[in-house]
A and B are shown apart, each in its own frame.
Chain A
Amino acid sequence: MKHLKYELYRNTETTIFEFKSIGPNGEITKVIIFNATQSKEIYNLAFGDLIYDEVHKRYILDDSIITNNGDRNKILATVASSVYIFTEKYPKKMVFFKGSTLARTRLYRRALSINLEELSETFIIFGSIKNEFGNVNSVPFKSNGDFFGFIIKRKEL
């Protein structure tokens, strides 16, 4: 996505990324984690604020917070770039993601639709729906589709 992005930092395995959202509400640390799922070729992208829990002395990824720094598109572009980086290192792995709310899932669908041409140079984009057994089926992506989430697969060169 040809938008401004924040500078990303990654762990050695390229499965955790961190960046800082900067705006009227200050400097907020954001984290992106690529988690293995039950399907070994698919990784789930989790994204949210990195919060330190003083009581339990541990870090938490909070994906429900609304930061309101006015930098939504910059954040989306930054998260998208982490997908490019992760799949460059692991070209056989696919990435699944969904919003923490239905509204956010719809936001991601709109972002995918707007940037579909550019994304399609590198990736194949799928929608996904849940079947009657609670498993996730991939389906063709449509701009007006009603999806549980999305699956991104890097094209083979």
Chain B
Amino acid sequence: MKTTVKKVLTENKNTPINSKVKIDKKLDDLKIIQSNKQEEVNKLTFNLNF
């Protein structure tokens, strides 16, 4: 019983987060209009100082 519990815990820890999050195929085809503010941010250029 102890061995079984340990094995399950290890599997959960090593399971990538992405595989735990369900895919909704409807989101693949969803076209979403964003606000002008967000569109402006998408056009920004970033200077990274690190």
Contact = CB atoms under 8 A, between A and B. Distances in A.
Contacts of A100: 35, 37
B24 A44 contact: no
Contacts of A12: 23, 25, 28
A98 B23 CA distance: 26
A18 B22 CA distance: 10
Interface in A90-147: 94, 96, 98, 100, 124, 126, 128, 131, 134-139
Interface residues of B, number: 28
Given A9-B27, A46-B38, A60-B33, A138 B21 contact: no
Interface string B32-49: 111101100111111111
A138 B49 contact: yes
B31 A139 contact: no
Contacts of A137: 46-47, 49
Contacts of A22: none
Interface string A44-74: 1010101001000011111110000000000
Given A35-B38, A37-B43, A61-B32, A10 B49 contact: no
Contacts of B30: 11, 16, 59
A75 interface: no
B50 A138 contact: yes
Interface of B: 16-18, 21-25, 27-28, 30-35, 37-38, 41-50
6 contacts: A9-B27, A10-B22, A16-B27, A37-B42, A88-B18, A136-B45
